[in-house]
Structure 1
Amino acid sequence: MIGDNIGTYYCSSKDYQMEDTDVVGDATFCKAFDGYVGVGRLVDTETGRYYGMVDYSVINNKETNLNDDYVLGFEVIGKPGHKIECYGDAQNTWMDNYGVEGFTDGSTDGSISDIAVADNVIAVGSYNTRNQWTCLDGGTAHYEGDAFKVGGISGFSSYGTLSDGRELPLVCAPGSAIISSVSYPFAKIVKQEYGEEYLNFMCQAKLVEEKRVNYWKQEVGTSMSTPFVAGSIALWLEANPDLDVNDVKEIIRKTAVRDDDVNNTKEQKRWGAGKFNALAGLKEAIRMSGIPGITTDTNNDRLILTREGDRLYKAFVGNADKMDARVYTVDGRLVMHRSGAGDELDIDFTGMNAGIYIINVNGHHNSRIIVK
């Protein structure tokens, strides 16, 4: 053990000494490391919580600890009934017991940011939808490793169990790697300092306008997945303005996808409810509105038609008791009739000729499709 004096720093040499009270040259510390380590404390008078902090910057002693025979650890002593939580900075510190008996192994449970834990906040994690991309210069780039496996949870996506028992995030959405817009001033600076060749290596798309050039590049992070969910919820609120945050949370939980990527993850709570489903959530928002369809000034807006396969489509009219679909050619010939109970209906074009068709649902919802 190096020491247990609260507020004291242990330094391997005077190069790291800041105060007269710092201990310089401790034999045990110097044998293992070059650098410094100290322990501080704080008592929150309002909550009664005791906070301790380990502040350190060390590298291995090149002569006596070249093979990582010594690692920096700490011991916390409490009384029966005390709850002790230990956190790293999530950047340069991680906790591992290295198989040493009596020491606790670390966990990423609890890594979620405190700005995401309020009860009326929708916390969103990230999963991977792409790990390689083509750049403007014609080259390709990619991410390696399980942290970026397509379909899997993003390695950087944080999570945690709160003291009140809630588990966050609520859901995960596409956050790696997303082709996102680049700030025009940023692109301008990059071009000025590194040249257009580097900009074409860095970016994946561009749009040339009369007075400016707009760029897009791959990005990763919950700063990508969160806007994906926020924009989708905005659409839900267009369909049903009466939704509150608890309604939205319930829709997310009810419609989230739990596929093999989700179910085969060891730490299930990292996913929350699963993979965010914008379309299923929109349909659920419409169903919760208590009105038949979306009330707008055009009949067609009541119908949602989605492609489910090569020649399979699904028609949806919110809160409809039954569905009656008729398919016509552009010259007005009826070529298919399907019906069923509920507000969704599959329409299968297998065996039909390629061409343009008009789908009419319940007599007044129309949509045109192209069958190849």
Structure 2
Amino acid sequence: MDGNGLSAGVASRPVKGHEAATLQADDEFIVGEGAASIPRAIAVGCYATNLDYKGEKISEEKLGDVTSFSSVGPFLNAKYPKPAVLAPGSLINSAQNKLAQGFDPNDEDLLLTTSVGRGKDKSWYGLMEGTSQASPFMAGTIALWLQAYPYLTYEQVIEILQKTSRKHAKMDGKTWDARYGYGLVDAYEGLKEALRIGKVDGLTRPSAALEPVSIARTPESWRVLFNNPEREATLTVFSLDGRPVMQRRLSGVQQAHEEVIDLGGLQSGAYVLSIVTPGTRLARRLIVTH
């Protein structure tokens, strides 16, 4: 209570000879609306990864930061972290419903980008934003983790998010934040953690559930993550004329083992990355630019 007998956070003002008190509003606890209020549901906030449409900036959000329309926690039951994580949801290229009432491909407000098909079969993609874009991004990410380890529990997914999400500078070193959750989702690092949990639990995963490797690409390197234990594996980088320019022969490869291919030693150009295991052979195009 303050000196006027009013609680902190309450503002007072005279109204025709009377003193009226009004609450000073905040945006806390609004994450609990709708489906996010289900205790063991993963509540997903949104951060901005795109601000442009056809080369022109059309959004006032801040790139790489939580968006203004992302609801803020905490949840009334502190046992459940809400939001749990932030995922991309600002101006995402998304499928459009051409059967929706009033849909007009000439409507510039729809922010259409590309079309597929012809004539009556033509369908459209366009930019959309909201946590309704961030949530399916996160659903697909967790589906990938479940491919790696189908026995993941809610608690283990939360553990993965806590360990692998990228912390935003505005979290000030906190593990969890009412606006940022555990941070910005990192699908690849989460996949590595899901594979590690499966290995520790010792439960058998269907061997055909995944390709032998998952690949994360950056301008500096390619990171090759083994989804299964392999007796042996050979990684070879070929030039387009068929010459091997880099090769690694591995034996006794453990599940979740990672090989990092540094692109710094390769000249700019196109290459082919070949990965051969006893049961699979695959190739991926590799572009190097310096």
- Category of TM-score, reference length = shorter chain: 0.7 to 0.9
Tell me how far 1:224 sits from its aligned partner.
Answer: 0.9
Match of 1:43 in 2: none
Q: Does 1:313 align with 2:222?
A: yes
Contact 2:89-2:134 at 8 Å conserved across structures: yes
Pick from 167, 170, 181: which aligns with 2:95? 181
- Superposition map of 1:98-109 within 5 A: 105-109=24-28
Match of 2:195 in 1: 286
Q: Distance in 1 between matches of 2:188 and 2:286?
A: 21
Give the TM-score normalised by the residue count of structure 2.
0.74
Matched length: 267
Tell me how far 1:172 sits from its aligned partner.
Answer: 0.8
Contact 1:179-1:218 at 8 Å conserved across structures: yes
Tell me how far 1:125 sits from its aligned partner.
Answer: 0.7
Match of 1:243 in 2: 152
Mind listing any 5+ residue stretches in structure 2 that lack a counterpart? 15-20
Mind listing any 5+ residue stretches in structure 1 that lack a counterpart? 1-75, 79-83, 85-94
- Superposition map of 1:317-328 within 5 A: 317-318=226-227, 326-328=235-237
CA 1:316–1:133 in structure 2 vs 1: closer, same or farther (change >3 Å)? same
Pick from 50, 53, 74: which aligns with 1:133? 53
Q: Which protein, 1 or 2, shows the higher relative CO under an 8 Å CA cutoff with sep ≥ 6?
A: 2
Q: Secondary structure at the match of 1:184?
A: coil
Q: Secondary structure at the match of 1:176?
A: coil
Match of 1:226 in 2: 135
Tell me how far 1:213 sits from its aligned partner.
Answer: 2.5
Larger Rg: 1
Match of 2:37 in 1: 117
Q: Percent identity?
A: 23
Q: Distance in 2 between matches of 1:99 and 1:258?
A: 42
Q: Does 1:370 align with 2:286?
A: yes
CA 1:274–1:236 in structure 2 vs 1: closer, same or farther (change >3 Å)? same
Contact 2:207-2:228 at 8 Å conserved across structures: no
Q: Distance in 2 between matches of 1:220 and 1:333?
A: 44
Q: Secondary structure at the match of 2:71?
A: coil
Tell me how far 1:154 sits from its aligned partner.
Answer: 0.6
Match of 2:65 in 1: 152
Q: Distance in 2 between matches of 1:322 and 1:255?
A: 28
1:297-337: CA deviation from partner (whole Å, max 9, x where unpaired): 49x81212222324x21111147599975425374747444
Tell me how far 1:217 sits from its aligned partner.
Answer: 2.1
* RMSD (CA atoms): 4.0
Tell me how far 1:236 sits from its aligned partner.
Answer: 1.8
Tell me how far 1:361 sits from its aligned partner.
Answer: 6.5
Tell me how far 1:133 sits from its aligned partner.
Answer: 0.9
Contact 2:235-2:275 at 8 Å conserved across structures: yes
Counterpart AA for 1:251: I
Q: Distance in 2 between matches of 1:282 and 1:335?
A: 26
CA 1:332–1:99 in structure 2 vs 1: closer, same or farther (change >3 Å)? farther
Pick from 162, 180, 186: which aligns with 1:271? 180
